[in-house]
């Protein structure tokens, strides 16, 4: 009799109980490895974390405004504004400058007369604000998955290692303008924007920029075409096209060697006006008559020349300087603060 009961108990365990345990166990393992919401999470845009600073960005190419976490926006700025093969400390300096620029506009400390942002804090037009590129578009620029992972990881490190950091001058948020290449010496702010003398935007020597392929660029202009371009701003300008070279005179250069004022015939142009009208890379230029009714203009550097030179920052980083030193060199007298401190403790000068 005992043998019969033992046999029945054994078969019950085999046929009923063990299969139930197996089914339950398999179900648990599957749920742990493949979360039910995984596909949905991959498709949804990244959401802001509690307490995260949000910025409104007008994306010009798409003609729409998007809100995104500030640090994610800064990654896109660094990716667009500075070559990823630059030194990591240069990329960190760019991240802090870009974050400061954005924060100053979020707080309406710095505003422009022309609002092309469609109500957003900043836009992606580099000629007006800062360049920006989405992560997806940035990844497409690089050849393979390894370079994509390494390059984006480098950008993320530059941003996250400086998270929340901004530049201050006497407890006020600075306006950290920057440019590609100063041509060897940055400009005083007042020499580019007349009447705008800023204590931390002073001319400094900027070494190592001549390694850039665009450091020195030559352009050929037909004399007739040049006069037409200049007359867009000054239609009454009187000048003999055949004698154009003789009627051009550089009247004054800035401390950094850039053209401050130049006369063409009976008209005087600011160096910045002359540059814009002819679409020159910088105001550090020389002019040469090459015959055949043509002039050659040779420019040195690229950009307005005020604030941090990106190529100069990279040189200083390659020479062993850390990002704090680079920033304090190009922005005289500044210190590094935190957005969190500005939000909770420090007064903001909105003048």
Report pLDDT digits (tens) over 122-139. Answer: 999 888 899 999 999 999
pLDDT tens digits, 5-14:
454 444 444 4
Instruction: Read off the pLDDT band of 345 (50, 70, 90).
Output: low
Residue 296 to residue 218: CA distance in whole angstroms: 7
Same domain? 123 vs 157:
yes
- pLDDT for the residue numbered 351: 36
Q: Which domain holds residue 250?
A: 216-300
Number of domains comprising the chain? 2
pLDDT tens digits, 294-305:
999 999 999 999
Residue 74 to residue 274: CA distance in whole angstroms: 33
Q: Which two tokens stand for residue 132?
A: 């920006």
Residue 239 to residue 74: CA distance in whole angstroms: 48
Alpha helices in the chain (DSSP H): 2-12, 18-33, 38-43, 70-81, 88-106, 135-140, 145-160, 189-192, 223-230, 271-278, 310-318, 323-330, 339-344
Contact 235, 313 (CB under 8 A): no
Q: What is the share, in percent, of the chain residues with pLDDT greater than 90? A: 74
Instruction: Read off the pLDDT band of 3 (50, 70, 90).
Output: low
Same domain? 113 vs 203:
yes
Q: Listing from the earlier edge strand, what are the strands of the sheet with 259-264?
A: 248-253, 259-264, 267-270
Q: Which two tokens stand for residue 221?
A: 């202009």
What mean pLDDT is predicted for residues 3-22?
44
Q: Listing from the earlier edge strand, what are the strands of the sheet with 172-173?
A: 172-173, 165-169, 335-338
Mean pLDDT over each residue of the chain, to the nearest integer: 85
- 229 domain residue, yes or no: yes
pLDDT tens digits, 61-72:
888 999 999 999
- 331 domain residue, yes or no: yes
- 27 domain residue, yes or no: no
Q: What is the share, in percent, of the chain residues with pLDDT greater than 70? A: 82
Instruction: Read off the pLDDT band of 196 (50, 70, 90).
Output: confident
Same domain? 76 vs 191:
yes
Residue 254 to residue 305: CA distance in whole angstroms: 11
Same domain? 70 vs 132:
yes
- pLDDT for the residue numbered 344: 77
Same domain? 114 vs 228:
no
pLDDT tens digits, 70-125:
999 999 999 999 999 999 999 999 999 999 999 999 999 988 766 677 789 999 98
Residue 235 to residue 15: CA distance in whole angstroms: 99
């Amino acid at each position: 009799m005992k043998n019969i009961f033992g046999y029945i108990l054994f078969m019950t365990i085999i046929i009923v109980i063990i299969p139930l345990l197996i089914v339950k166990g398999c179900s648990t393992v599957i749920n742990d490895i493949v979360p039910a919401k995984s596909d949905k999470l991959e498709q949804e845009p990244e959401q802001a974390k509690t307490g995260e600073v949000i910025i409104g960005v007008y994306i010009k190419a798409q003609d729409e405004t998007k809100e995104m976490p500030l640090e994610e926006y800064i990654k896109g700025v660094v990716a667009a504004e500075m070559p990823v093969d630059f030194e990591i400390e240069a990329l960190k300096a760019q991240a802090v400058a870009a974050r400061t620029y954005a924060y100053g506009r979020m707080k309406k400390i710095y505003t422009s007369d022309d609002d092309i942002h469609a109500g957003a804090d900043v836009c992606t037009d580099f000629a007006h604000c800062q360049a920006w590129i989405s992560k997806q578009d940035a990844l497409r620029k690089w050849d393979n998955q390894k370079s994509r992972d390494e390059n984006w990881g480098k950008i993320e490190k530059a941003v996250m290692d400086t998270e929340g950091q901004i530049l201050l001058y006497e407890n006020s948020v600075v306006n950290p303008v920057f440019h590609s290449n100063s041509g060897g010496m940055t400009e005083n702010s007042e020499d580019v924007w007349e009447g705008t003398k800023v204590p931390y935007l002073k001319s400094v020597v900027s070494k190592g920029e001549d390694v850039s392929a665009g450091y020195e660029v030559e352009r050929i202009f037909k004399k007739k075409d040049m006069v037409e371009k200049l007359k867009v701003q000054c239609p009454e300008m009187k000048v003999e096209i055949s004698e154009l070279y003789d009627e051009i005179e550089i009247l004054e250069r800035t401390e950094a060697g850039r053209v401050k004022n130049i006369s063409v015939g009976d008209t005087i142009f600011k160096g910045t006006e002359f540059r814009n009208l002819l679409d020159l890379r910088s105001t550090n230029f020389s002019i040469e008559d090459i015959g055949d009714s043509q002039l050659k203009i040779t420019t040195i550097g690229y950009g307005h020349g005020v604030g941090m030179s990106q190529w100069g920052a990279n040189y200083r980083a390659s020479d062993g300087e850390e990002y704090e030193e680079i920033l304090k060199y190009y922005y005289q007298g500044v210190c590094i603060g935190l957005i969190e401190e500005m939000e909770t403790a420090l007064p903001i000068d909105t003048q």
